[in-house]
């Protein structure tokens, strides 16, 4: 099926577009890049860069929606292979369109955010998720971000859930009729079988987890009050543990100061402790941070509206000379493609002689693994 051979399918589609780009409209090209970013990510990085680096790629008439689709693949390469894509032509225009296209408020996200405000849980609502120390920036939006817990809550509507039909039939039987609108069917199914999240939702989790964030899902039919209560408990426990750890540090500091006979320093330490405690209490009771106070751009993602903007996208100034970094990446990529072609031709000759692969699908599965290996070698040479 598609899930089993998704990486091979993505690689094949990208290779075909690269060979016959003039036959494909810009919408089809963008959809393919978006799908490959979601399904395969950096596994198809070599073929994706081949397409993006192809002559005239950025001269096509991209809309804001198609720019946003291309951004998904670029974000995957930046996070999963730590390849600095922000220095590549088209990155900032694509990111701008992604941020604008995902800035539509979801009603359930607003509702959950309001409950967290009432519980006085500090959180960021509808933001480009910030980078954690030691990790790359995710470059994707998060519905609810609780930085204190390194936690992102993704609010998913019925359109982001998939019905596992074999499990449903095995659980409820083929004689049982389940019908109605999609949300009603999903709710009925979830009473017996847990539904899987769709590809785009799984893509965000993959990126966020790679960047050091914990991710939980709040589906459209879950109890928001229960989630808010659980988060409130987690924040209180963390705050209490932090306060106890701080008290231990203060006790050690005070003993050291007593030994040194530094009374003035001791007073200063005690004053600092009181100030820190007050600050902790203020933080616990803080409402959801706004765009101005958080320092991060605030917006909310509506999955259904993400790719609906058909207005013309921003224009890229192609008369500007390529940066030194992009020139180096392009040269390394061209070298990697030659190496890939050499290894593929060598394997084809061996396979024809030995009958090693039963069909072309098996061969493409092998080739996509080779592409990933060559791509990683390319990235290491660029980042060295």
**pLDDT at res. 164:** 76
| Helix, strand, or coil (residue 318) | coil
8 DSSP 8-state letter: H
| Tens-digit pLDDT string for the chain (384 aa) | 456 788 999 999 999 999 999 899 999 999 999 999 999 888 899 999 999 999 999 999 999 999 999 999 999 999 998 889 999 999 999 999 999 988 876 888 888 899 899 988 899 988 999 999 999 999 999 999 999 899 999 988 777 777 777 777 777 777 677 777 777 777 777 777 777 778 888 899 999 999 999 998 888 777 778 888 888 888 888 877 665 555 555 554 554 444 344 333 333 333 333 333 343 344 334 444 433 333 333 333 444 455 666 687 788 888 888 999 999 999 999 999 999 999 998 887 766 556 777 788 888 899 999 999 999 999 999 988
Distance CA 384, CA 377 (A): 11
Nearest to 294 by CA among 147, 166, 175: 147
Distance CA 184, CA 14 (A): 37
Nearest to 340 by CA among 302, 312, 304, 366: 366
| Helix, strand, or coil (residue 234) | helix
**pLDDT at res. 228:** 84
**pLDDT at res. 245:** 56
- Asked if 78 contacts 49 with a C-beta cutoff of 8 angstroms, the reply is no
Distance CA 172, CA 174 (A): 7
**pLDDT at res. 374:** 95
Ramachandran bin of 126, using left for φ above 0, alpha for ψ from -120 to 50, beta for the remaining angles: left
List, for residues 274-294, the tens digit of each pLDDT value: 333 343 344 334 444 433 333
User: Which tokens hold the place of 184?
Assistant: 């009603």
């Amino acid at each position: 099926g598609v899930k089993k051979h998704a990486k091979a399918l993505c690689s094949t589609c990208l290779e075909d577009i690269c060979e016959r780009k003039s036959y494909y409209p810009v919408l089809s090209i963008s959809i393919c890049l978006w799908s490959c970013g979601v399904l395969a990510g950096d596994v198809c990085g070599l073929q994706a860069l081949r397409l993006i680096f192809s002559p005239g790629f950025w001269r096509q008439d991209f809309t804001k929606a198609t720019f946003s689709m291309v951004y998904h693949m670029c974000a995957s390469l930046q996070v999963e292979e730590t390849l600095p894509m922000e220095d590549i032509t088209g990155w900032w225009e694509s990111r701008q369109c992604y941020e604008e296209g995902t800035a539509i408020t979801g009603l359930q996200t607003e509702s959950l955010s309001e409950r967290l405000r009432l519980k006085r849980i500090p959180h960021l609502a509808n933001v480009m998720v910030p980078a954690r120390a030691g990790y790359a920036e995710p470059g994707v939006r998060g519905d609810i971000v609780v930085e204190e817990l390194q936690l992102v809550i993704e609010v998913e509507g019925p359109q982001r859930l998939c019905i596992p039909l074999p499990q449903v039939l095995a659980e409820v039987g083929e004689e049982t009729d389940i019908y109605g609108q999609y949300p009603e069917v999903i709710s009925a199914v979830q009473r017996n079988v847990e539904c899987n999240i769709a590809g785009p939702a799984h893509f965000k989790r993959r990126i966020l987890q790679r960047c050091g964030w914990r991710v939980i899902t709040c589906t459209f039919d879950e109890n928001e009050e229960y989630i808010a209560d659980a988060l409130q408990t987690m924040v209180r426990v963390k705050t209490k543990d932090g306060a106890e750890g701080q008290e231990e540090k203060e006790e050690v500091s005070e003993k050291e100061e007593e030994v040194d006979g530094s009374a003035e320093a001791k007073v200063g330490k005690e004053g600092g402790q009181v100030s820190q405690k007050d600050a902790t209490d203020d933080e616990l009771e803080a409402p959801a941070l706004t765009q101005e106070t958080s320092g991060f751009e605030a917006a909310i993602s509506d999955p259904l509206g993400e790719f609906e903007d058909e207005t013309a996208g921003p224009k890229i100034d192609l008369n500007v000379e390529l940066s030194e970094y992009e020139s180096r990446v392009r040269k390394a990529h061209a070298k990697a493609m030659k190496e890939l072609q050499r290894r593929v031709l060598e394997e084809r000759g061996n396979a024809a002689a030995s009958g090693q692969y039963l069909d072309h699908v098996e061969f493409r599965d092998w080739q996509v693994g080779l592409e990933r290996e060559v791509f990683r070698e390319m990235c290491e040479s660029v980042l060295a």
